Amino acid sequence: MPLTFHLNIWIDESFSLHATDSNLATAIHEAISFGARPPAYFILLFLWRQLHSSIFFARLLSILLGVIVIALIPQLSKQYLPKLNPYWLTLLAAFNPYFIWAVLEIREYPLILLWSALLLVTFFKGYLTDHQPRLNQIVYGFVAILSLYTYYYLAFILVSHGLILLLQRKWRKVRAFALCMFINALLFIPYLAILKSQLSVAESRKSSLEITFSSLLDSVKYLTRMGVSLAFRKEIISQDYANHWLSYLIIGIGLIAILILKRHLLTPISWSIILLNLGLFGIFIAVINLLGKHTVLPRHLILLFLPILLMTGLLIYLISQSVKTNQRQYLALALVSLILVLNLTSTYIIYQPMAKEGDQKRVSHYLKQNAQPSEEIFVFSNCYNLALSYYDHGSNKLHPLPAELDFSRPSLEQQTLSPEETQKLLNNLSQYQSIWWVKADFCDLNLTCSQIDDFLTQNYVLKQQQDFYKADVSLLEKN
C-alpha cells in the first residue's frame, strides 16, 4: 500500500487515466484507437473511477484484483499440484516482483491475471476432471470471451488448452471444448474488423522479418530469459545478468534432466502443466518471428505468470522427491525460501528509488519550485508530457514534443517527425531566450528527440540541471 500511494504514474498509466477521465464512449474509443487494445478493462476502470477519480483510487482497483488472484492460487495449487503445500505457491506469487509490478499498474495486467487464473481453475474442473463438467465448461466459456475482450494474447491459453486435450486424447472433452470455442468465436465476430485494423498497424511497424534458425534460436533465448525472470529475479547478482542466456540454457538442461529422471512421478495433470507452458512458449516464439520482438515485451508475457508459477511448483515437488521421505518437506521449504529471498531482495532493489520510470511526481515538484512564470517548458515525449500533466507543475504551460497527442490514432505513430516538420519545430524553439527542457531517458533512441537535443546543445547554454529516475530536467539559455 505505501508503494500504491507514493509511486508516480508512468506513461502507460496516464493513457488509462486519460481514457477514463471523461465518459464511457471516450474510454472505449481511446482503448481501441489510441491504445490498440480491447476495451473491457477500460470499461471496468471507468465504472470504478465514478466512485473516486484520484490516481490512488484507480491503482486500488489493480490491488483488489491482485488480492482476488492471490486468493485463487491455493485452489490452483490443490488442483494441479495436490502433493505440494498450497501456501508455498501463494507466497511465491504474492512476493514475486513481476506480480507486485502488475498490481501497481493502472493497466489491464491484474485483470489478465484474474482471467488466466479463472481459465485454469475452470479448465481443470470442466475438462481435466469430471467435477461438475457442464457447469464449469459454461463458466470457462464465459471467462474466455471476457478474456478476448480484455487481452488478445489470452487466446493463447485457449489454444494451449485445446492442444492439451488433443494430446491427452480426451475426445469427448475435445468435442465439448470445440463447441465452446465455436460459440466464443461467434461472440467475437463483432470485434474482428477492429482486430484486423489493429493487426495491420502492427504489421506495418515490423521490419522485413526472415525466419531463420538464428532468429528462432534468438527468440528461444529471449523467452527463456523472460520466463525465468517471471519465476525469480536476481538483481542481487547483477542487473545485466539476465542477458547471459547461457546460464538459463544450463538451468533448462538441468530441469529437463530432472523431468526425465522423475518422469514416473508425472501424472496426466502434471503433464498438463508442462504442455501448457510448452504450448504458450511455442506460440510466443511464432509471434516474435512473424511480427517482431516489439510485440512480445516483458509486460506482454503477463499471461505466462501463472503457468510458470505452476511449473515452478512442479519442479520444486520433483526435486524434493530426490531425497529421503522425511527430508522432502525441508528440501521443498528450502527451495521456496531461496526463491523468496531472491525475489524480496530484487523487489527492494527495484523500488529503492521509490519511483516509476520517468519520476513524474518529483519532476513536476522540481519544475514548480524552480521554473519562473515567464519560462517555457518543453517536454519529450508527448506521452511523457501526458503523465506529467497529472501532477501540479506550477502555472507554466507544458509544450509536448514532437506534437500534441492525437487520441484517435496509436501513440507509437506520433513519436517522430519528417525532416521538414523537424526543421519547423527547431525554428520555433530558436525564438525562446530561456527554456526548460524535460526529456525521458529513451530520448536517445528517438531520431526526432536526438535532433532536438543536438540543436539545444549547439545553441543554448546549460544553466541548471537535475537528474531524476529515467528522466532529466535542464534550464537552458540561448548563446
Q: What is the pLDDT along the chain (479 residues), one digit of tens a residue?
A: 678 889 999 999 999 999 999 999 999 999 998 888 899 999 999 999 999 999 999 999 999 999 999 999 999 999 999 999 999 999 999 999 999 999 999 999 999 999 999 999 999 999 998 777 889 999 999 999 999 999 999 999 999 999 999 999 999 999 999 999 999 999 999 888 888 777 766 665 555 567 788 888 888 888 888 888 888 776 555 545 444 555 566 567 667 767 776 778 888 999 999 999 999 999 999 999 888 888 888 899 999 999 999 999 998 898 888 888 888 899 999 999 989 998 999 899 889 999 999 999 999 999 999 998 888 999 988 899 999 999 988 888 899 988 888 888 877 777 788 888 889 989 888 889 999 999 988 777 788 888 888 999 999 999 999 999 999 999 999 88
Looking at every residue in the chain, the average pLDDT score rounds to 88
**Shortest CA distance to 106 belongs to which of 232, 231, 10, 247?**
10
Asked if residue 79 lies in contact with residue 124, where contact means CB atoms within 8 angstroms, the answer is yes
With contact defined as beta carbons under 8 Å apart, do 82 and 89 qualify? no
- Dihedral-angle region of residue 389 (phi above 0 means left; psi in -120 to 50 means alpha; beta otherwise): alpha
Asked if 287 contacts 295 with a C-beta cutoff of 8 angstroms, the reply is yes
Q: How much of the chain is helix, strand and coil, in % rounded to 5?
A: 70, 5, 25
Give the number of other Cβ atoms within 10 Å of residue 420's Cβ: 8
Query: What local confidence, expressed as pLDDT, does residue 202 receive?
Result: 60
- Tally of residues, the chain: 479
Exposed, middle or buried: residue 314 (CB in 10 Å: 0-12, 13-18, 19+)? buried
> Which pLDDT value is given to residue 152?
93
Q: By three-state DSSP, how is residue 307 classified? A: helix
Who's near 57: CB < 8 A, 6+ residues apart?
A: 48, 49, 51
Q: For residues 25 and 43, give the distance between their C-alpha atoms in angstroms, rounded to a whole number.
A: 9
pLDDT of residue 242: 46
C-alpha radius of gyration, the chain, whole number: 24
Q: Which residues of 377-391 are buried (b: 16+ CB within 10 A; e: fewer)?
A: bbbbbbbbbbbbbbb
Residue 124 sits at the vertex; the CA angle it makes with 187 and 255, to the nearest 5 degrees, is 115
DSSP character string of 53-114: -SHHHHHHHHHHHHHHHHHHHHHHHHHH-TTS-HHHHHHHHHT-HHHHHHHTSSSSHHHHHH
pLDDT of residue 239: 47
Each as own residue / partner, the long-range contacts of residues 79-84 (CB below 8 Å, 24 or more positions apart, any chain) are 79/120, 79/121, 79/124, 79/125, 79/269, 80/120, 80/124, 80/269, 80/270, 80/272, 80/273, 80/310, 80/313, 80/314, 81/273, 81/310, 81/313, 81/314, 81/317, 83/317, 84/313, 84/316, 84/317, 84/332
At 47, is the secondary structure helix, strand, or coil? helix
DSSP state of 296: S
3-state SS, residue 472: strand
- Distance CA(473)–CA(436), nearest Å, equals 7
Task: Give the cell for residue 400.
Answer: 509536448
